[in-house]
Structure 1
Amino acid sequence: MRNKRLETDEFKARRQEVLKQWPTGEGVNFQEAVAYHKAMPRENVFAEVLAKAKAEGRTLAQPRAGVSLIDEHIAMLKYLQEEGGADLLPTTIDSLTRQNRYGEAGKAMDEGKIAGHSMLTGFPAINYGVVACREVNESVKLPCQVRHGTPDARLLAEITLAGGFTDFEGGGISYNIPYAKNISLEETITNWQYVDRLVGMYEEYGVRINREPFGPLTGTLVPPCISHSVSMIEALLAAEQGVKNISLGYGQCGNLIQDIAAVQSLIELGEEYLARFHYQGVMLTSVFHQWMGGFPQDESKAFGVISWGAATVALAKATKVLVKSPYEAIGISTKEANASGIKATKQILSMLKDQSFPDTPELLREKELIKSETRSILNKVLELGEGDIALGTVKGFEAGVLDIPFAPSRFNAGRILPVRDSQGAVRILDHGNLPLSKECLDFHRERIAERGKEEGREPSFQMVVDDIYAIGKGRLIGRPR
């Protein structure tokens, strides 16, 4: 396994096996799919809409949503488009499809048709096939993205891209370590090289497909240098396979200055590393995920969390924001609740569109800290891989040089512990084997010690636990009562 573009013959050989995984794979015809994409309206192409928004300095709002019955799914997307005012649309894939359990997904689809309502947690695109995916895309006037969480998304990519979707989320790290327990990185990186090569092939035929690594990872208290490192790796892996449109994502941590610094440094680092490895002509855009941790059960309080994320992204100037629903703490959201989250977010975006956050010393210091830590991690990864980012990633996780907090994977060291400082910024309590400089580690210790002194307690794992549950209880920092 190397970070090397797949040869045409090798890709074709793999493709024959991939398309045989489920009968609907027979409905994929690449040349016909290329012609279909070229005939699509430009306003339905994700990369086109993102490029326009980036040029204009606008932030686009996109919800998460997906149900199993196609008529309900289309009705929901139309509602989010027309009533919610979404700028971009999702199609969230069901959990059985994510695990490649297509037979079980099919049974649940049949049961849902009999019951008259969805029996799955999302849209089973593989079971529906290319024609149904096109029906979804043709029913709306906005670009649609495939959002999922699949370690092996090769067949899903084949069917949905042939079905007219113009954005595909995920990556070999971000859709493995936070999602799976026993799947090796060698396997998932190889799987996602296939996905990226497929996207690269569409690009070579003049079809723009956007790729979005999943930025938030485990979603709770992830230090920016961790998520940034994964984003850089997945961007480099994608670029090697010919991907030309990449959206780098980041999950809200809660401290305004740290979050703005993270969004701004994300694109700066992306441009730096793409240039370092001589990848040219890649359009980078940024994605901000509203708070991915626990939510208050009270709907009004949940709107407060959503609005804080909206204000943050408006000042950070990300190209896209993934919007949350006020029903996050209750269960799967209704289309009405999703629409209300979009409306609240877009109201804030509109009110703050002409305002910017000044380059204060605190903001500049935070940006340099994030960049320095990310570079330290990536330099060590490249050293372990002898210059190869794919090989270095595998060895980096083995050594704990790459380490994602609270991840279920047994291929993840799980040694680092993040915690908030006295102003709510995420710092590192235990750095495990992260290759950070003494200067950076001293800064983290000092900030955490300040909080401990204020609260009259020694920083410990209990402080981490308190922070995880804080927002659900109406606070950002988990201070003792």
Structure 2
Amino acid sequence: MTGFGAFVAQARAAGALVVQPRMGMADPLRMRDGLLATRDAAAVTVGTLTLDSYTRTGDLAAARRALAEGVGLNGYPIATHSADVTRAVLRGVVDAGFPVQVRHGSAMPEHIVRALLAVGLDATEGGPVSYCLPYSRTPLHEAVACWQRSCELLASIREFGAEPHLETFGGCLMGQLCPPSLLIAVSVLEGLFFRQHGLRSISLSYAQQADLRQDEEALTVLGRLADELLPDVDRHIVLYAYMGVFPRSPGGARLLLEEAARLAVRTGAARLIVKTTAEAHRIPTVGENVTALETAAAAAADERARLRPAAPPPSTAVRVAGRDTGIEAEARALIGAVLELDTDVGRALVRAFAAGYLDVPYCLHPDNAGRARSSLGPDGRLSWSGVGSMPIAGLSGGRRPPILGSAELLTALSHVQRTYDARAAAGAVARSGGTTPETPRTPAARRELGLTSP
């Protein structure tokens, strides 16, 4: 097997965490330079083409006007640049030792899938739920139908010997303040949707939240359910560095990223989407992205070295022991309730949202019931303060916290920023009893792991 999933599997077998930036520039030369810098970073990396908002929403006429008038775009317009231009961007950069994924955010991605296939790429991400709620006002049933066509189109290239890869964004719904059981359920359900429509190489996402122990439990559950429900596909887990309000200090941002990398290693996630020290202020430069990739790789290597005497790296399932707070019971109940609605996973998802069996807190999409609410405790743990019609009442036990008011919600949204900026100011790195080893300053790390193309 070759392709994006095979590369990640090879890296995992060699004991390396694959790190990946969020990077997209409209200018082809700048995009090429960004990919080259990512490839040549002192880390095991994959590249990213993040698309612009016009392409995401299908307004290709606006994308063409912007290019013609020299108006800046916030990503790479893959469906507007000619296929020849994009092939030139990728030529001599992309190969078996450096795959590239197209990231987009579209609820209706068929035009994007056609464009990426036309230039020889075969990896992308999203999902019928996760890129419809909350990013779009597109009716959910329309998004499901378009994603079905997109999956089948992507899967069709398997007959030519390629192994396309699709990552669910389901574990990142709302980025924060969504309790882990719902993130896990949507991630697994979208994975089942992808498999039903022909994909055989997938990744399941989870976004780093505000409490380390809760994240460890959640990633353990996600790995276990993936092993159980998706045993016949190539799969891995991708962890996203925290997606909410990022620390304002460089030290706080670095601490948060390093913790994400260490969390990925401990829980068996194979790939990490990084964020930079500039996230709280502006769009990061290519250099800042490379620094983030190398910082994460160094932290991951340090964590692997720390764990090595105790046990070898986990294989596919995660192996973190910890207390059971009900995340697995809730996730299983949500998945089970959806799958009982229809044998077609897409129809089941539409019916589940109509019935309120799935309900994303603070999401204003018209097809979302909007009755579920979450709360963030003083320790950073996310919990349900209201479950609406979701079939999880009482499964996690304990008394539900009160529903957040506007002031409490704003405080919760900045919890991670305040926590990590305070840790940085207090010298948390020194108190932890260790320093981060210097990253090797050569791309030979990839060659030493056998990850270059023949």
TM over 0.5: yes
Secondary structure in 1 matching 2:281: coil
Residue pair 1:427, 1:444 contacting (<8 A) in 2 also: no
Cα offsets for 1:315-341 (capped at 9, x unmatched): 222000000011111121111111111
Q: 2:328 aligned with 1:375, yes or no?
A: no
Contact 2:249 2:421 in 1 (8 A): no
Residue type of the partner of 2:81?
Y
Which of 447, 466, 472 pairs up with 2:411? 466
Correspondence for 1:194: 149
Written as runs of structure 1 = structure 2, the 5 A alignment for 1:2-401 is: 45-83=3-41, 85=43, 87-112=45-70, 119-141=72-94, 142-181=98-137, 183-214=138-169, 215-274=171-230, 280=232, 282-356=233-307, 363-366=322-325, 369-383=326-340, 385-401=341-357
Asked if the contact 2:134/2:174 (under 8 Å) is kept, the reply is yes
Is residue 367 of structure 2 the alignment partner of residue 411 of structure 1?
yes
Give the CA deviation at 1:436: 0.5
Indicate if the aligned counterparts of 1:47 and 1:166 stay in contact, CA closer than 8 A: no
Residue pair 1:68, 1:122 contacting (<8 A) in 2 also: yes
What residue identity is the alignment partner of 1:471? V
> Deviation of residue 444 (structure 1)?
5.9
Higher normalized helix content (fraction of residues) = 1
**How far apart, CA to CA, are the structure 1 residues paired with 2:218 and 2:11?**
20
Residue 90 of structure 1 aligns to a residue in which SS?
Answer: strand
Whichever residue aligns with residue 328 of structure 2, its letter is K
Equivalent pairs, count: 409
Asked if the contact 2:265–2:303 (Cα under 8 Å) also holds between the matched residues in 1, the reply is yes
Worse overlay, 222-231 or 76-85: 76-85
| Cα pair 1:84 1:338 within 8 Å, conserved | no
Counting aligned pairs with the same residue, the percent is 27
Instruction: Provide the C-alpha distance between the structure 1 equivalents of 2:269 and 2:62, rounded to a whole number of angstroms.
Output: 39
Q: Which moved more, 1:397-406 or 1:119-128?
A: 397-406
Change (3 A) 1:387 1:185: same
Cα distance in 2, alignment partners of residues 410 and 176 from structure 1:
11
Task: Report the TM-score, using the length of structure 2 for normalisation.
Answer: 0.84
Q: What CA distance in whole angstroms lies between the structure 2 residues aligned with 1:63 and 1:438?
A: 39
Tell me if the contact between 1:267 and 1:284 (Cα under 8 Å) persists in the aligned partners: no
- Which blocks of at least 5 consecutive residues in structure 2 are unaligned? 312-317, 423-454
Displacement of 1:475 in angstroms is 5.2
SS in 2 for 1:226: helix
| Counterpart position of 2:384 | 428
State the AA in 1 paired with 2:353: F
SS at match of 2:244: coil
State how far apart, in whole Å, the 1-side matches of 2:273 and 2:367 are. 28
Distance in 2 separating the partners of 1:67 and 1:439: 46
The alpha carbon displacement at 1:270 in A equals 1.8
CA offsets, 1:122-177, max 9 Å, x none? Answer: 00000113222322322414110000101111011011022122311111111101
Separation (CA, whole Å) in 1 of partners of 2:242 and 2:42: 20
Return the letter of the residue paired with 1:342: L
SS for the counterpart of 1:321 is: strand
1:398 positional shift: 1.5
Structure 1: any 5+ residue segments left out of the alignment?
A: 1-37, 113-117, 449-457
Residue aligned with 2:144, SS: helix
Q: CA deviation at 1:371?
A: 2.0
| TM-score normalised by the chain length of structure 1 | 0.80
